[in-house]
Structure 1
């Protein structure tokens, strides 16, 4: 089966893409900003239990919500193999970024989201749920999303076996085809079972370490007036929702932390002798505030005085003789 936007009216490309995904992939809820150019193609091969789909399309956001799952539950698990470019995945609070050659094994009956600003370019293998589940030791949360990096030997083994099945399946006698499929499910199950889910304290430590990395980057880029949660989420390969959840660990929202970082930068500039020629408004701009009124208001809320009053007070303290 081959499907493409190529011969469709441009205004219908994305809407038709939504429907094609529901018919040939899974029930999904693609989202896209704007109404500009969009191209996409789907190529699918099915034979007995062998099901492989190649997808190429312009970048956008994709969700599989609980409503999508209820409307069209899947009877498979999927193996996602990244082609060109870079995408992010989020499922059950787990996040990962896939580079070219990386692989993910996951359950389509657990809500997930994925997206890229570049191109979606991947191969999706569907394996029978009943076969794989019989070989897995699953907890109450089901099959957690499992990433296999391209450098891992297991990834190469699974990818090679999948390719052999794709190109040799038609020539195999039924008993041998059954053995080949069973071997695939054993390989995948063994890789998943090797990856025990991290204990909760470890998970929290990893999230706090990630939060610290993001906060350092926000502080470093605080002077950029156009710094937004969306840009920062994209820089770290996570969804906007995941970014906000991460900042919730600190007790400050993204915007509150960014404002704090800008005010601290403004304080440093107001104290710096080499910035004495700058007005307080110019200091605000240098610190990353796009509006002078916002700078003055936030500064007064934090210090109980205007930037100018704070600067004078700081200078007076510096001039006081030491004992």
Structure 2
């Protein structure tokens, strides 16, 4: 489910007041303050992914406080993972101050008063995790979860962001059980980033391996058309041994070579179907998708889709307009 709200739907003179109410409804009970006059612009997009809540916010800069009074009125049953998308934002909580640059993560407890602001535009993604779920990944008696910045220079940041991106991209195809397992992995990764994980090494190692596999798979998808993409090359770029790379893929349904082949076939299929590439021959389509040999491309394509590339293209060409695939 996706909820979208924008100040464009409000009269200009009432936009900031309605923004305050929208934040209270869709984010947290907050006290926004603005010193400038004139119409205010802001937009909120909110999605529910199982037990996770993800909210994108883009708005003009202003001061935001979550005061003790706000917490008392509406305490939260979540922790938050804040991902800075563009620009810079600062945070203050319990005497600590940090600045988030694009790509940085801030993890904190909204039931501890804080303030935040920016010199430009707020542009961030806020993931809210159920307190009970994340608390299970934290060390016993770890106390309050005060603000922690996980910067771009830290390895944990890349693992968390790649896992978050994968969740957002693939959640629609996940069963409720798989989605909750993915949420559990996220909690484990966040717990490790906070250096407060329970002393259970196997779950922690498994979470890191899953997240690293997701990063590797994403890179393979982005570079599948490169004919020189080999497991040796990928392993070297990620600082892994070849054996470790293949062990990572044991966590998935496919080996490295199977995943690469399936990705290339999907790319070739999309090119064959797209109106903009109808002038390109089927052999060239195979090369563009990353296949070195035309015979290999044709054989693999038929195994995957039950028809040759040329026959599939002809079949699409003879479809009635309402039957054809729709492309952006």
Normalising by the smaller structure, the TM-score range is: 0.5 to 0.7
TM-score by length of 2: 0.57
Query: 2:115, 2:16 → 1: CA distance?
Result: 18
Which residue of 99, 122, 144 corresponds with 2:124? 122
Q: Please name the residue that 2:94 is paired with.
A: 92
Q: Please name the residue that 2:10 is paired with.
A: 8
1:175 is aligned to 2:197: no
Contact kept in structure 1, 2:139 and 2:196, CA below 8 Å: no
TM-score by length of 1: 0.58
Q: Please name the residue that 1:206 is paired with.
A: none
Q: CA deviation at 1:37?
A: 3.2
Which residue of 107, 110, 126 corresponds with 1:108? 110
Q: Please name the residue that 1:191 is paired with.
A: 193
Moved more, 29-38 or 106-115: 29-38
Query: 1:154, 1:50 → 2: CA distance?
Result: 20
Q: Please name the residue that 1:41 is paired with.
A: 43
Q: CA deviation at 1:178?
A: 2.3
1:19 is aligned to 2:3: no
Query: Which one has the largest radius of gyration?
Result: 1
Q: Deviations over 1:279-318 (max 9, x none)?
A: xxxxxxxxxxxxxxxxxxxxxxxxxxxxxxxxxxxxxxxx
Contact kept in structure 2, 1:50 and 1:166, CA below 8 Å: no
Q: Please name the residue that 2:76 is paired with.
A: 74
Q: CA deviation at 1:73?
A: 0.7
Q: CA deviation at 1:139?
A: 5.3
Contact kept in structure 2, 1:74 and 1:109, CA below 8 Å: yes
Contact kept in structure 1, 2:142 and 2:196, CA below 8 Å: no
Q: Please name the residue that 1:223 is paired with.
A: none
Query: 1:116, 1:178 → 2: CA distance?
Result: 34
Q: Deviations over 1:33-82 (max 9, x none)?
A: 03223100000001321210000000000000011011111110000000
Query: 1:38, 1:64 → 2: CA distance?
Result: 20
Q: Please name the residue that 2:219 is paired with.
A: none
Query: 2:80, 2:140 → 1: CA distance?
Result: 16
Contact kept in structure 2, 1:85 and 1:119, CA below 8 Å: yes
Query: 1:36, 1:94 → 2: CA distance?
Result: 32
Q: Deviations over 1:159-207 (max 9, x none)?
A: 1101111121221223322221111111101111269xxxxxxxxxxxx
Contact kept in structure 1, 2:138 and 2:196, CA below 8 Å: no
Contact kept in structure 2, 1:58 and 1:118, CA below 8 Å: yes
Query: 1:47, 1:185 → 2: CA distance?
Result: 14
Query: 1:47, 1:103 → 2: CA distance?
Result: 19
Which residue of 79, 82, 85 corresponds with 1:83? 85
Contact kept in structure 1, 2:63 and 2:116, CA below 8 Å: yes
The aligned runs of 1:151-300 (5 Å cut-off) are: 151-193=153-195
Q: CA deviation at 1:142?
A: 0.4
Moved more, 53-62 or 134-143: 134-143
Q: 1:157 to 1:140 in 2, by over 3 A?
A: closer
Contact kept in structure 2, 1:104 and 1:146, CA below 8 Å: yes
Alignment length, in residue pairs? 195
Which runs of no fewer than 5 residues in structure 1 stay unpaired? Answer: 196-323
